[in-house]
Homo-oligomer: A and B are copies of this chain.
């Protein structure tokens, strides 16, 4: 795969700039080729398999997956968690690291970045919320470990952890998993939030997260976190999980805090 010019390979992902909205869009032709457990359920030639025999995320089918990055426990055939490359990545780790793209006047960049999959359990029929507190904690520790590793690259500016639950949310595999995207740019929505928080601090001397009021709907709280429906929620069932202490980064989570959360 060429790293010098995206025009040479029609399948290489690109970051395309919209100069009118001043935002970057990930354009990834290869994503259209990914299979779907969910779509195929309505057809007779279903490739979905409730027993997990043909599911590449099930234990024993590791050879059907894209390369493994790490597993928990390390080197153990009876793994609990695997972090693997995405077989249909939105961004390509094969491309050369960009030097400094943020000031680029170009309207297109090679789609460099990382798109990983976290398989949360070896068992096809278990979902994240079925796991014990410690099991969920280990998934979060895996996120943090991977973020720290990705963050060592100067070219990586932002890492997003996300989970699409169910076909309606865009998930294509029914086996419980989450995803991580490491980007060479900071998404505009993140810049906007950081800018807004900085402006609030400059004006008031206060942290806007600390200023969350009782008009927000408290759901639960623990030693290190509380959860709430924000007063100005912008979609149904929006929930924020907020640390009680100042914490600027997701990967500042530690094993103790996660399990007590």
Contact = CB atoms under 8 A, between A and B. Distances in A.
A17 to B, nearest CB: 6
Nearest to A21: B193
A254 B108 CA distance: 37
A162 interface: no
Contacts of A208: 19-20
B209 A20 contact: yes
B25 A233 contact: yes
B231 A16 contact: yes
Given A107-B232, A231-B16, A231-B107, A196 B22 contact: yes
Given A24-B232, A25-B232, A27-B232, A19 B107 contact: no
Interface residues of A, number: 31
B196 A17 contact: no
A196 B20 contact: yes
Contact of A19 (B16, B20, B200): B200
Interface string A221-257: 0000000001111100000000000000000000000
A27 B215 CA distance: 14
A19 B234 contact: no
A197 interface: yes
A20 B233 contact: no
A199 interface: yes
A192 interface: yes
A94 interface: no
Contacts of A21: 192-193, 196
A18 interface: yes
A220 interface: no
A202 interface: no
A149 interface: no
A130 interface: no
Interface in A146-199: 188, 192-193, 195-197, 199
- Leading 5 A-B pairs by shortest Cβ distance: A22-B196, A18-B232, A16-B232, A25-B232, A19-B208
17 contacts: A16-B231, A18-B230, A18-B232, A19-B208, A20-B197, A20-B200, A20-B208, A21-B192, A21-B196, A22-B193, A22-B199, A22-B200, A23-B232, A25-B234, A107-B215, A107-B232, A108-B231
